[in-house]
Amino acid sequence: MSNNLVVVGAQWGDEGKGKIVDLLCAGFDIVARYQGGHNAGHTVWIGEKRFVLHLIPSGILHPGVTCVIGNGVVVDPQAFLSELEELHRHQVDITPERLRISDRAHLILPYHRAMEAVSERLRGDRKVGTTMRGIGPAYEDKVGRRGIRAGDLQYPEALRDRIHHNVAMVNLLLEANGEPTFSPEAVFHETLVLGEKIVSHIEDAGAYLNRAIGQGKRVLFEGAQGTLLDLDHGTYPFVTSSSAVAAGASVGTGVPPSRLGNAIGVLKAYATRVGEGPFPTELSDPTGELLRGRGGEYGASTGRPRRCGWFDAVALRYAVEINGFSSLALMKLDVLDGLDQIKICTSYELRGRRIERFPFEIRELAACHPIYESHPGWVSSTAGISQYEELPAGARAYVERLSELVECEIGMVSTGPDRHQLALGPGTGLRPYFLNAL
């Protein structure tokens, strides 16, 4: 077993990665977030306390674990400070030694949110359905080589010059669309004031991580969103703006691929999606409403209701292939308790022919109709069961059929939101990682 591990969402995000990372932290020294922004909400329950973390890795809730926000993340200074204040209120240790930000991480500034609002409005019917938090425009500035990085906060004069230049360009777009413009000096001063509060957390995170790995410390790499929202491999253009797949952990932290270790995928026992874009197994009926209600399927960051549907094995096979998962963690099995019939999408029908592969072309995916196989539900509750053998026979049969269809073992089954509401599955890939958590 490799010392390090990458945790990746295997669907369209919101799979429950926060709980898995929280559980696994007991066996790791460092948790490193490698992409995304504060649009990602990781919910962790500790007893009756509910923590929703957006930027800061879930490992911060474990004393002795160091957390790193990698260079692949875009950081809103105000959102970061708000999260720090909330953790401080719960008496969580958030010293710079425990919480580090890469000096290469790009910043989200106020004008990014304004740009995103204009961009989505101009798209009309083709809108992506973003969270309007400025994340996409911040990544656009990064790729456009005009971004402002966390390390720039240490050089005020250069920072002022770059902000003035960027705001001048942004104002041209805003003026052309009848929107209020920004004062470049006001943006600079706001950024400088916020920056003074976080600069002690900023360092060369790639060097820190590689040095720690060389010293034998174990690193858990935490992704946000999910495989099907990956910029390159997801349902483009209805995707996020970063590399959510396992390979993104290397680019997003500065740790070479040879040191990443294994990758595990987190998935739900059904499927959900937020925002626009094709979703072959979506249920716009009472069953979809039932899954949303039972599963609490509302965005942790935005509160938006999630679209719900049956499990899509075609999409999952693709995710397993792209990420090279060694094992899977199946979440929210208990949401399916009491259903008479449970369906699994095993393939698609596209213009009269059956296909087994996840289509590249967005119009083809939108034209796909799911081909289902039905499974009988189970009457007894799975909630809180911690031994796989004690799950109802129907539930075990369902889990094992999913594993067979997606061609990857399911090493853990979650039966509720609490830390210890889980059962280790028939697979062995996750067992060593969970020994310290059980």
Q: Report the distance separating Cα 10 and Cα 316, nearest Å.
A: 7
DSSP states of 221-288 = EE--S-GGG-TTTSSTTSS-SS--STTHHHHTTT--GGGT-EEEEEEESSEEE-SSS--TTB--SHHH
Q: Report the distance separating Cα 5 and Cα 222, nearest Å.
A: 9
Tokens encoding 125: 């019917």
Contacts of 227 (CB under 8 A, 6+ apart): 8, 9, 10, 11, 233, 234, 244, 245, 265, 318, 319, 322, 323
* Terminal alpha carbon distance of the chain: 18
Q: How far is CA 241 from the centre of its chain?
A: 12
Among the listed residues 14, 29, 103, 334, the single catalytic one is 14
Among the listed residues 22, 29, 38, 42, the single catalytic one is 42
Q: How far is CA 20 from the centre of its chain?
A: 12
Q: Decide if 328 contacts 267 (C-beta within 8 A).
A: yes
- Catalytic annotation on 14? yes
HSE-CB at 66 with a 13 A cutoff on CA atoms is 18
Tokens encoding 7: 């945790």
Query: Active-site positions?
Result: 14, 42
